[in-house]
């Protein structure tokens, strides 16, 4: 029996070593930043420490601005591999998803920069998902319009990819802006349409803040928490119904960004000039050859 126990123990130790050599985590590590707990594997220790600093600062800023009272621990999971991230999503999210939050379980899952090669802003993604969780705490689980939820997340995260306004500009120029209420279905959009949805969300929130300040956001979120409809909440915050606010924002967006897309031409300007120069050189060369050929024929004729 003793010999059998030794064999079993040796076998388990061997399997443990194989798992470690294969890079498979035996158990995740954790680090805390106030009421935020980060789960990670050893290979992501550096990113976990960075995440703790970023989230501690953002947590304080967002809870103060939005007047969020949170007494529960929020959990962050840094997915150690693409396979693990896909296991977390369970195939229920579009392929372009870079991270996600599950407010019901007060959890967010983000990709580790160690293997994610899409060039996303890790700090920005963390803050983005944190805002989603804190907004959920603010409204006590009531549904929040997606444009408002995403717009606030982008505003606080500072993610540049949603602030370029190129997609918004093209939509404004072609009268093809997505109605704000339709952004609720953003997870069903393709990547291009989703980009427009996120840019619109940020623009609408930025406009709301610039004209009506943070108090308007607080009033709207308080209204949602109390079960009021959007018209009631917006009327209390801005003096206008939601529809009136949306028309006001659309006019602003069209006036401000309608021709912004033309700035993209600068990226191709020198390529365009180079192509013109090459074409001009080809035309001149063909013309010169024709002249030489004509002179040769004229000389033979004499």
Dihedral angle, C-alpha 134, 135, 136, 137, nearest 10 °: 50
* Most confident residue range from 8-22, 134-148, 166-180: 134-148
* Average pLDDT in the chain: 83
Q: Where are the domains of the chain?
A: 26-138, 141-268
Binned at pLDDT 50, 70 and 90, residue 7 comes out as very low
Binned at pLDDT 50, 70 and 90, residue 244 comes out as very high
Binned at pLDDT 50, 70 and 90, residue 173 comes out as confident
Name 236's Cβ contacts closer than 8 Å, sequence gap at least 6. Answer: 219, 220, 223, 228
Phi, psi of 178 (to 5 degrees): -80, 130
Check: CB of residue 245 under 8 Å from CB of residue 208: yes
pLDDT score of 13: 34
Please provide the DSSP assignment of 169-225 as one string.
HHHHHTT-PPPGGGGGGGGGS-HHHHHHHHHHHHHHHHHHHHHHHHHHHHHHHHHHH
| Mean pLDDT of all residues in 204-212 | 96
pLDDT score of 2: 32
Name 228's Cβ contacts closer than 8 Å, sequence gap at least 6. Answer: 236
pTM (2 d.p.): 0.77
pLDDT score of 277: 52
Binned at pLDDT 50, 70 and 90, residue 21 comes out as very low
Strand 36-40, strand 29-33: pairing: antiparallel
Name 73's Cβ contacts closer than 8 Å, sequence gap at least 6. Answer: 35, 36, 37, 106
Picking from 146, 142, 256, the residue whose alpha carbon sits closest to that of residue 210 is 256
Which CATH fold would you assign to the domain 26-138? Glutaredoxin (3.40.30)
**pLDDT higher for 230 or 119?**
230
Dihedral angle, C-alpha 147, 149, 155, 160, nearest 10 °: -70
pLDDT score of 295: 59
| b/e sequence 45-61, b meaning 16+ C-beta within 10 Å | eebbebbbebbeebbee
| Mean pLDDT of all residues in 56-68 | 96
Check: CB of residue 249 under 8 Å from CB of residue 169: no
**pLDDT higher for 11 or 296?**
296
Picking from 33, 24, 27, 69, the residue whose alpha carbon sits closest to that of residue 51 is 33
Q: pLDDT tens for residues 96-153?
A: 888 999 999 999 999 999 998 776 789 999 999 999 999 999 999 999 999 999 999 9
User: Lowest-confidence range among 5-14, 50-59, 279-288?
Assistant: 5-14
pLDDT score of 252: 93
pLDDT score of 83: 93
pLDDT score of 293: 59
């Amino acid at each position: 029996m003793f010999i059998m126990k030794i064999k079993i123990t040796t076998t388990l130790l061997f399997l443990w070593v194989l798992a470690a050599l294969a890079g498979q985590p035996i158990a995740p590590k954790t680090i805390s930043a106030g009421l935020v707990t980060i789960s990670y594997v050893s290979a992501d220790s550096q990113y976990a420490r960075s995440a703790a600093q970023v989230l501690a600062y953002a947590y304080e800023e967002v809870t103060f601005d939005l007047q969020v009272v949170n007494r529960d621990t929020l959990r962050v999971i840094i997915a150690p591999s693409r396979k693990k991230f896909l296991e977390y999503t369970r195939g229920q999210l579009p392929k372009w998803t870079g991270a996600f939050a599950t407010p019901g379980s007060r959890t967010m899952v983000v990709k580790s920069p160690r293997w994610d090669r899409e060039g996303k802003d890790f700090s920005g993604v963390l803050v983005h998902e944190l805002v989603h969780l804190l907004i959920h705490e603010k409204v006590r689980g009531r549904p929040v319009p997606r444009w408002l939820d995403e717009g606030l997340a982008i505003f606080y995260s500072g993610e540049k990819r949603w602030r370029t306004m190129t997609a918004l500009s093209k939509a404004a120029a072609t009268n093809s802006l997505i109605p704000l209420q339709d952004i609720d279905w953003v997870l069903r959009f393709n990547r291009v349409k989703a980009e427009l949805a996120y840019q619109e969300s940020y623009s609408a929130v930025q406009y709301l803040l610039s004209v009506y300040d943070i108090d308007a956001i607080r009033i709207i979120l308080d209204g949602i928490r109390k079960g009021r409809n959007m018209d009631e909440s917006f009327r209390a915050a801005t003096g206008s119904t939601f529809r009136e606010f949306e028309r006001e924002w659309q006019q602003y967006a069209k006036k401000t960004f309608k021709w912004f897309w033309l700035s993209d031409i600068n990226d191709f300007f020198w390529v365009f000039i180079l192509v013109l120069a090459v074409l001009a050189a080809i035309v001149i060369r063909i013309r010169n050859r024709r002249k030489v050929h004509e002179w040769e024929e004229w000389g033979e004729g004499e």
